[in-house]
């Protein structure tokens, strides 16, 4: 068996980026027209992967980001590295594996089932998600000196629960990276409970809770907290997960609530000794004409992380999360084009009425040259 090609030495780039995102990305195939996977004859290729989605959105928002992963030494691996690099993400720590393939997944439009017994059928609004990632290059990630150094090369390390489900080696790596020790980067974790990836195991939810407890900033959907842990609302999630300094509970279109130790609140990136009391801040989501729900959670995390890096208030961080999510929701694939920072800052500072009047529609795709055009599509009645 051929050895995995070594990545460049990472030591020279200690903390040289704002955010490192570590996890598997896949080439994604979405049906070119309506229908079930059993029926549709052709697909559009894209890229997907929770962590690289966050990296791409953060890079578009002007932050220095690095994606750490493994892909096959194949054409799909080339495509992923090229596509993710084109967003401005550093891919120098991505290793190419000549023996294992790049992961692939097929997905129809609609919401993802996060319940083991989804209430709606595939002819309703639930997506069919078919993974071809077992034995993939990324699933061979495991603890090691190079990956550890790369993971620690930013101010923030962003991880998700998806990685923990990929293999025993990936789980061991996640456990290592979420172990608390002095001097580590701020560790951010999106629970991303993927029922399909945990099938055949009984302890997925326990593992996810264990990993979340080792992190500084945790994102979870109220629906996935209910499906994974049987917790009924945001307050119950906080009661069950008091360890993270910052906990964000998302409620889709209804908004999101952040619980933060007071020291971790406005302005601070680094956190300090927890106090018993939390700051609790909620913000309603934007009104959005949804094109495709996929990628909204990743985009939300990117917006919140961007606000964290910029030292914005908790309320502004939530609103930047909602704005980034809206960009993803109004694009067909995982990634949308985020609003320009000047616009986002102005909208994030609106009063409740002004925010309520914003409405985002389709059209937030494309390249930076379309920024003016995109901003014109936002019905901003406050100007
Ligand atoms: N229907 C919607 N309208 C407006 N915003 C939404 C809607 N659905 C999701 N969002 C935004 O996307 C964010 C993530 O939603 P969530 O349902 O948790 O996504 P995911 O399931 O992809 O993780 C929400 O916090 C919100 O900002
Ligand atoms: O690896 C997986 O299982 C994935 O699902 C990768 C997906 O491209 C994103 O994670 C989109 O996820 P959402 O933002 O929750 O819609």
Give the CATH number of the domain where residue 25 resides: 3.40.1190.20
Residue 10 has pLDDT above 60, yes or no: no
Ligand 1 pocket test: pick from 296, 329, 344 the residue with the most ligand atoms within 8 Å of its Cβ: 296
Average pLDDT over residues 286-297: 87
Query: Domain range spanning residue 247?
Result: 20-116+123-263+276-360
- For 342, half-sphere exposure in the C-beta direction (CA atoms, 13 angstrom radius) is 3
* Residue 14 placed within a domain: no
Catalytic sites, residue numbers: 298
Ligand nearest to the CA of 300: 1
* Residue 369 placed within a domain: no
* Residue 224 placed within a domain: yes
pLDDT digits over 59-97, tens only? 999 999 999 999 999 999 999 999 999 999 999 999 999
Q: Which atom of ligand 2 is found nearest the CA of 298?
A: 14
**Residue 312: per-residue pLDDT:** 96
The CA angle 57-292-288, to the nearest 5 degrees, is: 80
pLDDT level of residue 359 (50, 70, 90 thresholds): confident
Nearest residue (CA) to ligand 2, atom 9: 50
Ligand 2 mean position, distance from CA 336 (Å): 14
Average pLDDT over residues 224-234: 95
Residue 264 to residue 213: CA distance in whole angstroms: 16
**Overall domain count for the chain:** 1
Ligand 1 pocket test: pick from 53, 300, 315 the residue with the most ligand atoms within 8 Å of its Cβ: 300
Q: Interface pTM (ipTM) of the complex?
A: 0.96
Residues with CB under 6 Å of ligand 2 are 48-50, 53, 162, 194, 294-298, 334
Q: What φ, ψ does residue 51 adopt, rounded to 5°?
A: -75, -40
The finding on whether 300 has its CB within 6 A of some atom of ligand 1 is yes
* Residue 190 placed within a domain: yes
28-42, 110-124, 228-242, 347-361 — which is least confidently predicted? Answer: 110-124
pLDDT level of residue 13 (50, 70, 90 thresholds): low
**Residue 140: per-residue pLDDT:** 98
Ligand nearest to the CA of 327: 1
* Residue 3 placed within a domain: no
* Residue 307 placed within a domain: yes
Nearest residue (CA) to ligand 1, atom 9: 252
Ligand 1 mean position, distance from CA 126 (Å): 15
* Residue 268 placed within a domain: no
Q: Which two tokens mark 240?
A: 């069950």
Residue 15 has pLDDT above 80, yes or no: yes
Q: Which atom of ligand 2 is found nearest the CA of 296?
A: 14
Q: Which atom of ligand 2 is found nearest the CA of 194?
A: 3
CB atoms inside a 10 Å sphere around CB 171: 16
Ligand nearest to the CA of 51: 2
Ligand 2 mean position, distance from CA 34 (Å): 20
Mean pLDDT of the chain: 87
* Residue 215 placed within a domain: yes
Nearest residue (CA) to ligand 1, atom 2: 253
The finding on whether 284 has its CB within 6 A of some atom of ligand 1 is no
Q: Which atom of ligand 2 is found nearest the CA of 48?
A: 8
Average pLDDT over residues 197-226: 95
Ligand 1 pocket test: pick from 48, 118, 304, 325 the residue with the most ligand atoms within 8 Å of its Cβ: 325
Task: Give the residue among 60, 136, 133, 130 at the shortest CA–CA distance from 95.
Answer: 136
Residue 367 has pLDDT above 50, yes or no: no
**Residue 249: per-residue pLDDT:** 98
Sheet strand arrangement including 65-68? 65-68, 17-22, 154-160, 186-190, 217-221, 246-250, 256-261, 278-283
Residue 276 has pLDDT above 60, yes or no: no
Residue 210 to residue 227: CA distance in whole angstroms: 16
137-141, 284-288, 316-320 — which is least confidently predicted? Answer: 284-288
Residue 348 to residue 338: CA distance in whole angstroms: 13
Query: What is the value of pTM for the model shown?
Result: 0.89
Ligand 1 mean position, distance from CA 95 (Å): 32
**Residue 381: per-residue pLDDT:** 41
Q: Burial-class residue 92 by CB neighbours within 10 Å (0-12, 13-18, 19+).
A: middle
Residue 149 to residue 141: CA distance in whole angstroms: 14
pLDDT level of residue 14 (50, 70, 90 thresholds): confident
The finding on whether 286 has its CB within 6 A of some atom of ligand 1 is yes
pLDDT digits over 22-52, tens only? 999 999 999 999 889 999 999 999 999 999 9
Ligand 2 mean position, distance from CA 102 (Å): 16
Residue 112 to residue 126: CA distance in whole angstroms: 6
């Amino acid at each position: 068996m051929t050895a995995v090609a070594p990545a460049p030495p990472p030591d020279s780039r200690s903390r040289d980026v704002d955010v490192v995102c570590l996890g598997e990305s896949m080439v994604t195939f979405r049906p070119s027209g309506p229908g079930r996977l059993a029926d549709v004859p052709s697909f559009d290729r894209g890229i997907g992967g929770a962590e690289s989605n966050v990296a791409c959105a953060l890079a578009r928002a002007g932050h220095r980001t690095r994606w750490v992963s493994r892909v096959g030494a194949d054409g799909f691996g080339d495509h992923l590295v090229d596509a993710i690099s084109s967003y401005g993400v550093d891919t120098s720590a991505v290793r190419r594996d000549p023996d294992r393939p790049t992961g692939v997944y097929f997905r129809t439009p609609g919401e993802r089932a996060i319940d083991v017994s989804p209430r709606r059928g595939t002819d309703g609004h639930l997506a069919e998600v078919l993974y071809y990632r077992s034995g993939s290059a990324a699933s061979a990630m495991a603890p090691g000196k190079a990956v550890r150094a790369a993971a620690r090369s930013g101010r923030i390390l962003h991880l998700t629960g998806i990685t923990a489900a990929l293999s025993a080696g990936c789980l061991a790596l996640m456990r290592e990276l979420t172990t608390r020790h002095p001097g580590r980067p701020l560790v951010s974790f999106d629970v991303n409970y993927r029922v399909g990836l945990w099938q055949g195991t009984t302890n997925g939810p326990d593992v996810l809770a264990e990993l979340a407890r080792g992190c500084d900033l945790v994102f979870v959907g109220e629906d996935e907290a209910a499906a994974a842990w049987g917790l009924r609302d945001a307050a119950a999630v906080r009661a069950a997960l008091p360890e993270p300094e910052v906990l964000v509970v998302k409620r889709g279109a209804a908004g999101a609530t952040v619980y933060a130790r007071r020291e971790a609140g406005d302005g601070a990136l680094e956190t300090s000794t927890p106090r018993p009391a939390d700051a609790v801040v909620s913000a309603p989501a934007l009104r959005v004409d949804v094109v495709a729900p996929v990628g909204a959670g990743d985009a939300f995390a990117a917006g919140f992380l961007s606000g964290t890096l910029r030292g914005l208030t908790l309320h502004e961080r939530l609103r930047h999360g909602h704005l980034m999510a809206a960009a993803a929701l109004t694009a067909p694939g995982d990634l949308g084009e985020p609003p320009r920072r000047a616009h986002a800052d102005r909208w994030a500072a609106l009063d409740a009425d002004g925010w309520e009047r914003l409405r985002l529609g389709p059209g937030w795709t494309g390249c930076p040259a379309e920024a003016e055009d995109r901003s014109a599509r936002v019905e901003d009645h406050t100007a």
